């Protein structure tokens, strides 16, 4: 037990919550997609100080009905056409509820065997579904921003002679500036990861794209050569990020040609397939993404098109 509620009270509140969720999804089309509120309005209707005493759950759920539900942007609305549709689903909602009940930390096998083995197995299903070879290991992060951060940290770690993991980057004049290459259409999460990792935004080379918004391989080659040519004062290429499904236009970078270049240059290839990667479960669409299997790391967001609730990034 969670210890905070008598079991019967919790059970009744869960039933009521189930009704709230099902009612919401049944009626979501009746709301305007954008709530009729102005900035600050919801915040002002909440107490400025934390409550000193707990309230009956019915009152809390009434607050949800009155203040929260009508005042979100309704991503589940049939008329919601912004960004990419999120693909919540009935089974996805049930999975979230069950996981909240279990409330385990799956950091180690011992901390929850079933959660760890389920994660590993389902990530391997995803690997098979998007036709990646068996060498790929998968794990779950919250968002693609975290996934790309982790992938680029691995790329940095592969520059083994720099020993960044042990020694860090600061105060080490012997460490050259590291560079990361991505198209001018790549998602801002790549810049953010490079800021966090100590690469620095100025060392993210935004490579030009062609008329179809795909990264230009000759321009990439030139950028790498330019960075390498500066001799001892030169930069050290750390990773190339190819995007499969850019956020603005779903353009697909030429991954195979980029992989060839990365192999020749000994540079880590990260594929940001956060958006379009889910589409690779359809063989006819997978065929539009040749070379995915050559990535050193790849991110796919099941919370975009694979029926899971936000957030789930593999």
Alpha carbon of residue 200 to chain centroid:
21
Enumerate the H helices of 1-102 as residue ranges.
7-27, 41-44, 57-63, 90-102
Q: CB of 184 within 8 A of CB of 209?
A: yes
Binding to ligand PLP in span 53-72, by CB under 6 A: none
Binding to ligand PLP in span 176-215, by CB under 6 A: 187, 189
Count of residues of this chain found to bind ligand PLP when the rule CB under 6 A is applied? 14
Q: Does 144 bind ligand PLP (CB under 6 A)?
A: yes
Q: Does 247 bind ligand PLP (CB under 6 A)?
A: yes
> Which phi and psi (to 5°) does residue 218 adopt?
-60, -40
Q: Does 278 bind ligand PLP (CB under 6 A)?
A: no
Q: Does 295 bind ligand PLP (CB under 6 A)?
A: no
Which pairs from 76-85 meet CB under 8 Å and 24+ separation? 76/25, 76/28, 77/28, 77/29, 77/31, 77/33, 78/28, 78/29, 79/29, 79/33, 80/33, 84/275, 84/304, 84/305, 85/305
Q: Does 305 bind ligand PLP (CB under 6 A)?
A: no
Angle at 175 between CA 169 and CA 176, to 5 degrees: 115
Stretch of 119-127, 140-148, 150-158, 280-288 lying at the interface with ligand PLP (CB under 6 A) = 140-148
Distance from C-alpha of 193 to C-alpha of 153, rounded to nearest angstrom: 9
Binding mask 86-125 for ligand PLP (x = CB under 6 A): ----------------------------------------
Q: Does 297 bind ligand PLP (CB under 6 A)?
A: no
**Which residue of 179, 183, 203, 243 would you call a contact of ligand PLP, by CB under 6 A?**
243
Q: What six digits make up the tokens of 126?
A: 């995803």
Decide whether 246 or 278 has the Cβ nearer to ligand PLP.
246
**Which residue of 272, 291, 292, 295 would you call a contact of ligand PLP, by CB under 6 A?**
272
Stretch of 47-55, 252-260, 269-277, 289-297 lying at the interface with ligand PLP (CB under 6 A) = 269-277
Decide whether 60 or 195 has the Cβ nearer to ligand PLP.
195
Q: CB of 277 within 8 A of CB of 84?
A: no
Binding stretches for ligand PLP (CB under 6 A): 143-145, 187, 189, 243, 245-247, 272, 274-275, 301, 313
């Amino acid at each position: 037990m969670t210890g905070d509620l008598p079991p019967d009270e919790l059970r009744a509140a869960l039933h009521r919550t189930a009704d709230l969720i099902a009612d919401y999804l049944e009626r979501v089309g009746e709301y305007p997609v954008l709530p009729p509120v102005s900035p600050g309005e919801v915040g002002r209707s909440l107490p400025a100080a934390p409550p000193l005493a707990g309230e009956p759950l019915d009152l809390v759920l009434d607050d949800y009905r009155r203040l929260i539900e009508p005042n979100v942007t309704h991503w589940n609305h049939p008329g919601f056409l912004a960004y990419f549709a999120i693909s919540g689903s009935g089974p996805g909602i049930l999975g979230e509820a069950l996981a909240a009940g279990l409330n385990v930390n799956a950091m180690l096998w011992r901390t929850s065997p079933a959660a760890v083995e389920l994660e590993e197995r389902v990530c391997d299903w995803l690997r098979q579904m998007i036709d990646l070879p068996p060498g790929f290991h998968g794990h779950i992060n919250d968002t693609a921003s975290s996934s790309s951060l982790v992938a680029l940290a691995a790329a940095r770690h592969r520059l083994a002679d720099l020993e960044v993991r042990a020694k860090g980057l600061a105060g080490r004049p012997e460490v050259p500036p590291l560079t990361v290459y991505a198209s001018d259409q790549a998602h801002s999460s790549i810049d953010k990861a490079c800021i966090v990792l100590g690469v620095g935004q100025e060392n993210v080379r935004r490579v030009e794209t062609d008329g179809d918004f795909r990264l230009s391989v000759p321009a990439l080659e030139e950028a790498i050569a330019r960075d390498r040519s500066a001799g001892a004062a030169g930069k050290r290429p750390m990773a190339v990020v190819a995007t499969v499904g850019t956020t603005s236009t779903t353009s697909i970078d030429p991954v195979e040609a980029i992989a060839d270049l990365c192999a020749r240059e000994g540079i880590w290839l990260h594929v940001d397939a956060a958006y379009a990667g889910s589409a690779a479960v359809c063989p006819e669409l997978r065929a539009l993404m040749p070379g995915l299997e050559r990535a050193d790391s790849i991110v796919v967001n099941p919370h975009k098109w694979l029926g899971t609730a936000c957030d789930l990034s593999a």
